[in-house]
């Protein structure tokens, strides 16, 4: 049975989605508030984004199991925008960014975001992780982050040296709660019972920090939320369209649209690798994200993206349809509407601690080691340079520098960048031969070509005439092969060399 295009799940499926939605809700609540605080805005702004991401984007998404909400990857961008432009400018920027995403989805350019080098994306995320850690470290002391990543980094020794064991004040108490929260999270992840494996570590950390601060009556900063979630909605001023004349507003909107789209679609690709269900429709996902960010702008909330931590929790908890994502948004709305007093007991240091752990995990050294060992020095260098420029300058500059460095991979092959696809008639569409260069320039064509092979039996892929395969396309082909084989559909890969030969084994 379906209604307005939404197919109603069976009772068994609905039961699994209901359980998964509670898990995602418990993961999302502390992250929504923590990311808002890291962005320099009140915590309820992050909760509003979580509600819209769950209920609205969940219903429209092209990736049914992906969860959308406020993302750590945009916290640094929003922090700088709010600092320089004021909170009132965030709404018009997000409305414009949402419109850009919506138009991009309508024009079907979603596949091109996947062509961004994984080295650039992971370098960007690593740089964001560093900025989050050095910024949120100061929140552990009930202090506000400083204006830049370098300033935050240089101020860390002073924070530590300022602690006093003989004169315990609010600063020392807040730091104790932050360390206790981190210890509780890491301890729970390592020692939690199998029966409670679905209980998220972030929730345990917040509970331990909150209960400790409450029971000891500590005088530390706590979360400040309004009595009503409706009061947190801040509609844009009537003249908000006039702000679009400002070139800096347009640049900010383009930056948010670009980064949010790239992070969302890469997250969706990762979610696809976690399950055997419906594959992502990238353009539909981009349109849904555009509508979501447009609504976030109207409500004066944070920008949203597809988020891998909440999405992986959703898949691991057994979700099979979009119902789980939608329900988690409803649970956030109900909690904020009925229990705002409980949120006001959460220490700021506990939320800062969650973001410190999140930031550390964004710096994936395992990924750069994989790039170096599999593809050589250049992709690893792109990762490192992107990270350093993001920390030293800003996010957009880091991404643009990383993309510029990615072009160096094309220089030796600039005269033969075309990718040719041949499908012999006698194979009835089950065999395909690739010739030419498989680089990020031709990745959308390569992706569509591979996905066109039938999924109901064995297929063969001849890559003997590929003269160049960059790490972006190699990673795409590796993911495609793994997904096909995991689904029980064998692929015969012939003529492979280098990294592709390792995949054929």
Distance from C-alpha of 65 to C-alpha of 275, rounded to nearest angstrom? 9
Look at residues 124, 110, 30 and name the one whose alpha carbon lies nearest to residue 77: 124
With tokens 């930056």, the residue in question is 255
**Number of residues in the chain:** 505
Q: What is the reported pLDDT for 349?
A: 92
Look at residues 75, 74, 72, 67 and name the one whose alpha carbon lies nearest to residue 26: 67
With tokens 């379906």, the residue in question is 2
Largest CA distance in the chain: 83
Tell me what the mean pLDDT of segment 471-499 comes to. 79
Kindly report, residue by residue over 289-329, the tens digit of the pLDDT: 999 999 999 999 999 999 877 888 888 778 889 999 999 99
Kindly report, residue by residue over 242-264, the tens digit of the pLDDT: 888 889 999 999 999 988 998 88
According to CATH, what is the number of the domain 419-504? 3.30.750.24
**In this structure, how many other beta carbons lie within 10 angstroms of the beta carbon of residue 449?**
16
Kindly report, residue by residue over 195-215, the tens digit of the pLDDT: 887 788 888 898 999 999 999
Q: What is the reported pLDDT for 501?
A: 66
Q: What is the reported pLDDT for 28?
A: 87
Domain map (residue ranges) of the chain: 12-348, 364-412, 419-504
Q: What is the reported pLDDT for 55?
A: 96
Render 212-232 in DSSP notation, one character per residue: HHHHHT----B----S-GGGG
Tell me what the mean pLDDT of segment 104-115 comes to. 83
Q: What is the reported pLDDT for 499?
A: 62
Distance from C-alpha of 209 to C-alpha of 188, rounded to nearest angstrom? 13
Distance from C-alpha of 164 to C-alpha of 493, rounded to nearest angstrom? 64
Tell me what the mean pLDDT of segment 346-368 comes to. 87
For CA atoms 471, 474, 479, 480, the dihedral sign is positive
Quick check: 6 pLDDT over 60? no
**Which neighbouring-strand residues pair with 438?**
469
* pTM, two decimal places: 0.77
């Amino acid at each position: 049975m379906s209604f307005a295009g939404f197919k109603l799940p069976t009772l068994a499926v609905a039961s699994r989605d209901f359980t998964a939605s509670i898990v995602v809700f418990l993961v999302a609540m502390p992250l929504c508030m923590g990311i808002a605080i890291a962005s320099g805005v009140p915590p309820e702004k992050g909760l509003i984004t979580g509600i819209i991401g769950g209920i609205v984007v969940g219903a429209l998404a092209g990736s049914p199991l992906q969860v959308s909400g406020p993302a750590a990857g945009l916290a640094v961008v929003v922090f700088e925008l709010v600092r320089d432009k004021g909170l009132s400018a965030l709404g018009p920027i997000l409305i414009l960014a949402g419109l850009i995403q919506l138009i991009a989805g309508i024009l079907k350019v979603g596949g091109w975001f996947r062509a961004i080098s994984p080295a650039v994306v992971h370098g960007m995320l690593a740089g964001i992780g560093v900025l989050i850690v050095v910024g949120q470290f100061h929140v552990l002391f009930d202090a506000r982050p400083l204006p830049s990543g370098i300033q935050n980094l240089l101020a860390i020794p002073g924070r530590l040296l300022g602690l006093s064991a003989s004169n315990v004040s609010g600063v020392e108490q807040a730091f104790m709660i932050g360390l206790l929260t981190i210890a509780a999270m890491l301890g729970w992840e390592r020692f939690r019972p199998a029966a409670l494996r679905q209980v998220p570590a972030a929730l345990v950390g917040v509970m331990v920090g909150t209960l400790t601060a409450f029971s000891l009556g500590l005088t530390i900063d706590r979360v400040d939320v309004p009595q009503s979630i409706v009061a947190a909605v801040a509609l844009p001023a009537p003249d908000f369209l006039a702000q679009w004349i400002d070139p800096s507003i347009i640049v900010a909107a383009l930056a948010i649209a670009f980064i949010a789209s790239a992070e969302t679609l890469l997250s969706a690709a990762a979610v696809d690798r976690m399950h055997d269900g419906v594959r992502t429709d990238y353009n539909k996902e981009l349109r849904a994200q555009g509508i979501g960010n447009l609504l976030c702008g109207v409500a004066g909330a944070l920008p949203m993206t597809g988020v891998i931590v909440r999405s992986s929790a959703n898949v691991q908890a057994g979700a099979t349809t979009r119902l789980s994502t939608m329900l988690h948004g409803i649970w956030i709305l109900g909690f904020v509407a009925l229990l705002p007093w409980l949120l006001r007991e959460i220490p700021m240091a506990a939320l800062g601690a969650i973001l410190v752990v999140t930031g550390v995990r964004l710096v994936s050294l395992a990924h750069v080691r994989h790039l170096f060992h599999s593809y050589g020095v250049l992709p690893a260098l792109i990762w490192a340079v992107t990270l350093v420029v993001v920390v030293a300058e800003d996010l957009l500059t880091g991404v643009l520098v990383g993309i510029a460095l990615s072009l160096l991979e094309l220089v030796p092959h600039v005269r033969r960048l075309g990718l040719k696809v041949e499908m012999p008639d006698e194979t009835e569409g089950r065999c395909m031969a690739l010739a030419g260069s498989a680089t990020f320039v031709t990745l959308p064509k390569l992706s569509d070509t591979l996905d066109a092979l039938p999924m109901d039996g064995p297929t063969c892929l001849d890559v003997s005439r590929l003269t160049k395969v960059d790490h972006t396309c190699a990673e795409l082909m590796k993911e495609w092969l793994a997904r096909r084989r995991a689904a029980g559909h064998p692929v015969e890969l012939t003529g492979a060399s280098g990294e592709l030969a390792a995949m054929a084994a």
